[in-house]
A and B are shown apart, each in its own frame.
Chain A
Amino acid sequence: MSLIDVRNLRTWFPVRKGLLQRVHAHVRAVDDVSFTINKGQTLALVGESGCGKTTVGKSIVRLVAPHEGQIIFQDRDLLEMDSKELAPYRQRIQIVFQDPANSLDPRMLVRDIIAEGIRSFKLAQTNAQIDARVVDILNRVELSKDVMHRYPHEFSGGQRQRICIARALAVEPEFIICDEATSALDVSVQASILNLLKGLQTEMGLTYLFITHDLSVVEYLADQVAVMYLGQIVDEGTTDEIFSNPKHPYTQALIRAAPGLDPERQQLDELLGEVPSPMDPPPGCRFHTRCPQLMRRCNSEEPDFYPVAGGRCRCFIHDPSK
């Protein structure tokens, strides 16, 4: 059963210009993105920086206003709600950010940081109840209860990320968006946070949207993978299928460019060229300016999704009518 169903999401940012500051163009950060995540599953959203993956996450929690589309969360469209209706849904969807340095208010005690959501959603009344909950959550993220009366600057990056996860967990969400949640951490710390997230998922039945550029993380955590390029999803499938048998030329290039621990490989394959501007995406297939398997129709026709083994792919190579 799907928990969240994103349909044709478009988040465009206007670019104003000229004498009257008319909207002159749009930065198409997210341009027609659709995906569904089943309850208890993890979808990894992968792509280079600037491809719009973070905007997808922020659109779902309404930190930026999407242009059009639907975000169906348990049969209700989040985008149609006003802020009052949205309030109970805010509790069920939480987000964990990348930068552990800026995601905790430096002037608040860890206790108050974690209790913030408990207070605002009135999940506990008395101070003692709140404290009990905070201690419980700190246990879950494997922090001792002594940290309650300390300030964020006293912790390491990994510990701060645990506090961020605790803050999100404190309101008992069903769905957590991890926006590059492990990208700023050392590899060893990264592993412990990933293990924590995986443990919490089985323990509490959480659903994750895992936004990252780091493919090694994806392989460990995700059930499904969606690859984004220039505001669009170009390739989608099960993790096994994407890694063992990538379909889209972009996915293939990404996997080949990822530095693994394979001692046999002497050199990494680079993906040539720069990402075009999302203000003015190239016609036809958005990837055609950098594609190694360029065909004639690529720069004029826009490819649709074509079903492939274990998922779907936006590339003419897989066009069955060809």
Chain B
Amino acid sequence: MTIYIIRRLLMGIPTVLGVLFILFSLFFWIAKPEHIAVKALGEKARAEQIEQWIQDHGYNLPKFYNDSCSGWQRITETRLCQFYRSMLSFNFGRSDLDDISIVEKIHDGMGPSLALMVPVFIASLVAAISISLFVALFRGTYIDRFALILCVVGMSIVYFVYIIGGQYYLGKVLRWYPISGWSSQHMIHFLTLPFIVGTIAGLGESVRFYRTIMVNEIGSDYIRTARAKGLGDAAILFRHLLKNAMIPILTRLVMAIPFLFTGSLLLESFFGIPGLGRLTVEAILNNDFRTISAMVYISSLLYIAANLLTDISYTLVDPRIRLQ
């Protein structure tokens, strides 16, 4: 078991390096430094200013191989190596846009993101599982059919419509909640509307997912045996079904964890929550490559960690899966 975990951790290393290489090639190999400089300094910047800016930010180094140095420095004194160094040490530097430390920005954004996403995560999980259990009990009836159609309808609505509809109806017509905005004192006041919208928007897809799992489990032999033994529906539900449907559910849950930290791009930017999602959207809108790559890097790390976590949790839930 320990050996397995160590192995999995080691296998994550090439993946992280690969992710960084993709990021580097996307942002710093293809995009010209002059463009970034012009973006940061404004269209009217003078040539010397741009030159100076490029120097300051280390964009003047060669990309992969430095001819002017000797020995190891040929490789270390390059943009690729510097990029790897800064990313792996979590020393993201300053934003190209406003010269504020990226680490600081991320630190500030994490709180609001978590404050929004954790309740959304828990609420949608509870809602989706209880609804899908209910639907699965009535499988094959009109309730089931109707619920399935509702799920597909829910999946087919664009995310914006949930947001705009929520803002319009609950915010503007009923005036229950503010349409958007943020203050750290009245967090709940501002977070309720995005919370409701975020929970409802994902419901169709997850109910359908969980229902499929439940219905498949209900059809399996051990549930029939349990029923033949005379166990009540509730007992079957909680003692057998949920336990055995755990693996697909767990995968889904753990894979959602990275998004708790990185926040929701759309929810945050529509509701004006200063979280990581909005940070990312703003960075994208302003071509702030350093901030984007830091955000992408962090989400990838979280994703890789979550992947590892699911694999390990499999062994805990299902003793049959013994990892070699």
Establish whether residues B324 and A16, one from each chain, have CB atoms under 8 Å apart when the complex forms.
yes
CB distance from B111 to the nearest CB of A (A): 39
Residues of B within 8 A of A17 (CB): 324
Establish whether residues A19 and B7, one from each chain, have CB atoms under 8 Å apart when the complex forms.
yes
- A18 close to B (CB within 8 Å): yes
- B6 close to A (CB within 8 Å): yes
CB distance from B8 to the nearest CB of A (A): 11
CB distance from A293 to the nearest CB of B (A): 38
Establish whether residues A19 and B3, one from each chain, have CB atoms under 8 Å apart when the complex forms.
yes
Task: Mark B304-321 against chain A: 1 for CB-CB distance below 8 A, else 0.
Answer: 000000000000000000
Task: Mark B1-43 against chain A: 1 for CB-CB distance below 8 A, else 0.
Answer: 0010011001000000000000000000000000000000000
Task: Mark A19-54 against chain B: 1 for CB-CB distance below 8 A, else 0.
Answer: 100000000000000000000000000000000000
CB distance from B3 to the nearest CB of A (A): 5
Residues of B within 8 A of A16 (CB): 324
CB distance from B235 to the nearest CB of A (A): 35
Residues of A within 8 A of B3 (CB): 18-19
Establish whether residues B6 and A19, one from each chain, have CB atoms under 8 Å apart when the complex forms.
yes
Binding site for B on A (CB under 8 A): 16-19
CA distance A215 to B80 in the complex (A): 69
CA distance A17 to B1 in the complex (A): 11
Cβ-closest chain A residue relative to B6: A19
Cβ-closest chain B residue relative to A21: B7
CB distance from A281 to the nearest CB of B (A): 21
Residues of B within 8 A of A18 (CB): 3
Question: What 7 A-B pairs are tightest by C-beta distance, nearest first?
Answer: A19-B3, A19-B7, A17-B324, A18-B3, A19-B6, A16-B324, A19-B10
CB distance from B222 to the nearest CB of A (A): 24
CB distance from A14 to the nearest CB of B (A): 13
Show 7 A/B contacts (Cβ-Cβ < 8 Å), sorted by A.
Answer: A16-B324, A17-B324, A18-B3, A19-B3, A19-B6, A19-B7, A19-B10
CB distance from B211 to the nearest CB of A (A): 30
CB distance from B6 to the nearest CB of A (A): 6
Residues of A within 8 A of B10 (CB): 19
Cβ-closest chain B residue relative to A15: B324
CA distance A17 to B10 in the complex (A): 15
Cβ-closest chain A residue relative to B7: A19
CA distance A19 to B324 in the complex (A): 11
CA distance A320 to B3 in the complex (A): 52
Of listed B6, B10, B324, residue having the most chain A CB within 10 A: B324
CA distance A132 to B95 in the complex (A): 76
Residues of A within 8 A of B324 (CB): 16-17
CB distance from A179 to the nearest CB of B (A): 29
CA distance A16 to B324 in the complex (A): 8
CA distance A18 to B5 in the complex (A): 11
Within 8 A of A (CB), among B167-181: none
CA distance A94 to B324 in the complex (A): 36
CA distance A19 to B3 in the complex (A): 6
Task: Mark B242-282 against chain A: 1 for CB-CB distance below 8 A, else 0.
Answer: 00000000000000000000000000000000000000000
Cβ-closest chain B residue relative to A24: B324
CB distance from B184 to the nearest CB of A (A): 47
CA distance A17 to B4 in the complex (A): 9
CA distance A18 to B6 in the complex (A): 10
Residues of A within 8 A of B6 (CB): 19
CA distance A73 to B217 in the complex (A): 52
CA distance A19 to B202 in the complex (A): 40
Residues of A within 8 A of B7 (CB): 19
CB distance from A219 to the nearest CB of B (A): 38
Cβ-closest chain B residue relative to A17: B324
CA distance A126 to B55 in the complex (A): 73
CA distance A17 to B3 in the complex (A): 9
CA distance A271 to B6 in the complex (A): 44
CA distance A18 to B323 in the complex (A): 10
CA distance A16 to B7 in the complex (A): 13
CB distance from A119 to the nearest CB of B (A): 42
CA distance A11 to B180 in the complex (A): 69
CB distance from A31 to the nearest CB of B (A): 23
CA distance A16 to B10 in the complex (A): 17
Cβ-closest chain A residue relative to B2: A19
CB distance from A209 to the nearest CB of B (A): 35
CA distance A194 to B324 in the complex (A): 43
Task: Mark B145-158 against chain A: 1 for CB-CB distance below 8 A, else 0.
Answer: 00000000000000
CB distance from B26 to the nearest CB of A (A): 33
CB distance from A21 to the nearest CB of B (A): 8
CA distance A18 to B2 in the complex (A): 10
Residues of B within 8 A of A19 (CB): 3, 6-7, 10
CB distance from A105 to the nearest CB of B (A): 29
CA distance A118 to B202 in the complex (A): 56
CB distance from B94 to the nearest CB of A (A): 40
CA distance A126 to B104 in the complex (A): 76
Cβ-closest chain A residue relative to B10: A19
CB distance from A16 to the nearest CB of B (A): 7
Cβ-closest chain B residue relative to A18: B3
CB distance from A18 to the nearest CB of B (A): 6
CA distance A19 to B10 in the complex (A): 9
CA distance A274 to B66 in the complex (A): 67
CA distance A17 to B7 in the complex (A): 11
CA distance A153 to B142 in the complex (A): 35
CA distance A164 to B180 in the complex (A): 70
CA distance A19 to B4 in the complex (A): 7
CB distance from B179 to the nearest CB of A (A): 56
CA distance A19 to B1 in the complex (A): 11
CA distance A261 to B174 in the complex (A): 85
Cβ-closest chain B residue relative to A16: B324
CA distance A19 to B5 in the complex (A): 9
